[in-house]
Amino acid sequence: MNRSKTLFTEAKEILPGGVNSPVRAFSRVGGEPVYFNRGKGAYLFDEDGKAYIDYIGSWGPMIAGHAHPEVISAVQQAAENGLGFGAPTENETTLAKKIRQHMPTMELMRMVNSGTEATMSALRVARGFTGRDKIVKFEGCYHGHSDGLLVKAGSGALTLGEPDSAGVPLPIAEQTLTLAFNDIDALKTLFSSTGEQIAAVIVEPVAGNMGMVLPLPGFLAGLKQICEDYGALLIFDEVMTGFRVGLQGAQGLFSIQPDLTTLGKVIGGGLPVGAFGGRREVMECVAPLGPVYQAGTLSGNPLAMASGIATMSIIEQPDFFPDLEAKTSDFMQRLEVLASDRRVPLATTSLGGMFGFFFSNDKPISNFTQVLNSNTENFNTFFHHMLAAGVNLAPSPFESGFVSGAHTEREFSATLTAADSAFKNI
Ligand code: KE4
C-alpha cells in the first residue's frame, strides 16, 4: 500500500506539480514525494505509518524537534484565545525583544509571514533609505521569490541582471547585479564602477541554498567594508542561518554587523513568520514612521508569535547550542570517514545545527562553480537509498540539512549505518 502515490496523483490534478513549493516535488532527485502526516521529535511518519529520521525539519524551523510539547502547548493556549485580532498584541513585542537580545544589530524590526516577505521588504527599505536602485546578490544564494531576487548574472558579471524566472520584467532584473560568492575582488571591481548606484548587497552569510558553502576568511568583512566605503547597506539574509548556526546567528559567529538582517524559519518554530530589521535610522524609514510602505494582514499573528517565543525559549537554554553544534559536527565527521573508507569522494560541512555534503573531491567547496561540478548522480543514488532506509534528506543536492535538539546517538548511528550501505552502492 503506497498512500503517498495515491495522494500525489490526486494533488497533481489541482496543485501545480502536486506541491505548494517546487523543491517538494522531487524534480531534482526523481521519483515521487513521500506524504507525511505526523512528526514527533527527530521523526516524521508517512501515510503508511513508516518512520523516518528527519533532517529537513520543515526546511529549518523545527530546531526543537517536531511537535515539541512546550511549543504545541503554547500554540494551543494561544488558539483558545482566538486566531487573530488585526491589532497589536504583546507577544509581537515579546518575540522582537527575544530576537534583539541575541541579535542587537536589529535595533528596530518588523514581523512578516515568510522569508520572501522579509527580504523583499528589506530591499525596499534599502532603496528607500539610500535613494539608489541597484542591488548586488551572489550566484547560488537564494533569498525567496520576489521579482528583484529571481535574477541571474548577465552575460558578464559586471553586466545587468537577467530574469531567473519567467514573469520577471527585464527592467526589474536589470537592477540586480550578480557576482560569484566568496569573490571579494569581483565586488571591489563592480563597486569601483557602479558603487554610487548600489543600494545594498544581500548575502546569505553562510550559503545554504546551493548546498552549504562557508564564507572564505575575510569575505564577509570585505563586504561590510566595501558597503561602508560606498554608502551601500549590507543585508544579511539569515532566514536560514538565524538561530540555526548559533544563538547569535552568522553575524555573531563571524562578528559582522550588517545594516539590515532578514529572518524566518526558526523564529516561527514551524508557523509562518519572517522578520526584517536593523539600524534604527534605516528602519525608521518604514511606514507608518517613514515613507517606505510595508504591510501584512497576518503579520505578528498570535499563534505564530506563541510558537516563535516557545521555540526561542527552548534554544536559549545554556546547553542547547553547544550540544547541537557538537553532535552535528560529529555526525558529519563520521559520515566523511565512512565515505572515505568506501572510497567515495565526499566533502562535508557543518555549523551549529546546519550541515551539508557534496559528492566531490574539492575541499572545501567555496563557490557555485565547484557546487555545479559535484557529482549529483551520486547524490541522487545516496538520497534514494537513504529514503528507502527511513532517512529523510532534502530532495536536492543544492539544499542544506538540519539537526534538531531531539536527534540523539540512536538516530545518528542508524543514519550512518544506512549511509555506509548506500556508499557501497555508489
Ligand atoms: P520563504 O519565503 O520560503 O519562507 O523564505 C525564503 C528564503 C529566504 N532566504 C533564505 C536564505 C532561504 O533559505 C529561504 C527559503 N529556503 C528554502 C530552502 N532552500 C525554503 C524551502 C522551499 O522553497 O520550499
Known active-site residue 330: no
**Which of the listed residues 26, 56, 143 should we mutate to test ligand 1's pocket, taking the one with most ligand atoms within 8 A of CB?**
143
Residues 85-119: pLDDT tens digits?
A: 999 999 999 999 999 999 999 999 999 999 999 99
Nearest Cα residue to atom 20 of ligand 1: 59
Q: What pLDDT, on a 0 to 100 scale, did the predictor assign at position 158?
A: 57
The answer to whether 178 touches 211, Cβ cutoff 8 Å, is no
79 and 52 within one domain: no
Looking at residue 145, which CATH number applies to its domain? 3.40.640.10
151 and 35 within one domain: no
Burial class (CB in 10 A: 0-12, 13-18, 19+), 179: buried
205 and 112 within one domain: yes
A 10 A CB-CB count for 185 gives 10
Nearest Cα residue to atom 17 of ligand 1: 59
Nearest Cα residue to atom 24 of ligand 1: 21
Q: Which residues contact 166 (CB under 8 A, 6 or more apart)?
A: none
101 and 200 within one domain: yes
The residue range of the domain holding 272 is: 70-315
Looking at residue 51, which CATH number applies to its domain? 3.90.1150.10
Residue ranges of the chain whose pLDDT lies below 50: none
210 and 106 within one domain: yes
CA of 108 to the centre of ligand 1 (A): 23
251 and 181 within one domain: yes
226 and 106 within one domain: yes
Q: Are strands 198-203 and 134-138 parallel, antiparallel or unpaired?
A: parallel
Q: What pLDDT, on a 0 to 100 scale, did the predictor assign at position 268?
A: 98
Q: Which atom of ligand 1 is nearest to the CA of 114?
A: 4
CA of 189 to the centre of ligand 1 (A): 30
C-alpha cell at 174: 536589470
User: Phi and psi at residue 95, in whole multiples of 5°?
Assistant: -65, -40
Q: Measuring from each residue's beta carbon to the nearest atom of ligand 1, which residues come in under 6 Å?
A: 21, 23, 59, 114-116, 119, 142-144, 204, 208-209, 237, 239-240, 264, 274, 399
Nearest Cα residue to atom 1 of ligand 1: 115
Q: What pLDDT, on a 0 to 100 scale, did the predictor assign at position 155?
A: 63
The answer to whether 62 touches 404, Cβ cutoff 8 Å, is yes
301 and 189 within one domain: yes
Q: Which residues contact 323 (CB under 8 A, 6 or more apart)?
A: 405
Query: How far is 3 from 21, CA to CA, in rounded Å?
Result: 20
Nearest Cα residue to atom 15 of ligand 1: 144
Catalytic-labelled residue, pool 142, 183, 224, 259 = 142
CA of 212 to the centre of ligand 1 (A): 14
pLDDT more than 70, % of the chain = 98
136 and 36 within one domain: no
Residues 347-372: pLDDT tens digits?
A: 999 999 999 999 999 989 999 999 99
Q: Which atom of ligand 1 is nearest to the CA of 117?
A: 2
Catalytic-labelled residue, pool 46, 54, 183, 237 = 237
Reported as type and span, the H/E element at residue 184 is helix 184-194
Q: What pLDDT, on a 0 to 100 scale, did the predictor assign at position 153?
A: 73
192 and 233 within one domain: yes
Q: What pLDDT, on a 0 to 100 scale, did the predictor assign at position 359?
A: 98
Residues 275-318: pLDDT tens digits?
A: 999 999 999 999 999 999 999 999 999 999 999 999 999 999 99
Task: Tell which of 315, 342, 366 closes a domain.
Answer: 315
CA of 342 to the centre of ligand 1 (A): 34
CA of 396 to the centre of ligand 1 (A): 14
C-alpha cell at 266: 526558526
Known active-site residue 265: yes
Q: What pLDDT, on a 0 to 100 scale, did the predictor assign at position 152?
A: 85
97 and 226 within one domain: yes
* pTM of the full structure: 0.98
Task: Tell which of 315, 333, 362 closes a domain.
Answer: 315
Q: What pLDDT, on a 0 to 100 scale, did the predictor assign at position 29?
A: 96
Task: Tell which of 282, 315, 348 closes a domain.
Answer: 315
**What's the number of domains the chain is made of?**
2
Known active-site residue 293: no
Q: Which atom of ligand 1 is nearest to the CA of 262?
A: 9
**Which of the listed residues 138, 165, 203, 209 should we mutate to test ligand 1's pocket, taking the one with most ligand atoms within 8 A of CB?**
209
Secondary structure class of 239 (helix, strand, coil): coil
Q: What pLDDT, on a 0 to 100 scale, did the predictor assign at position 127?
A: 98
Q: Which atom of ligand 1 is nearest to the CA of 264?
A: 4
414 and 341 within one domain: yes
Nearest Cα residue to atom 5 of ligand 1: 115
The answer to whether 235 touches 122, Cβ cutoff 8 Å, is yes
CA of 151 to the centre of ligand 1 (A): 15
Residues 149-167: pLDDT tens digits?
A: 999 876 655 567 888 999 9
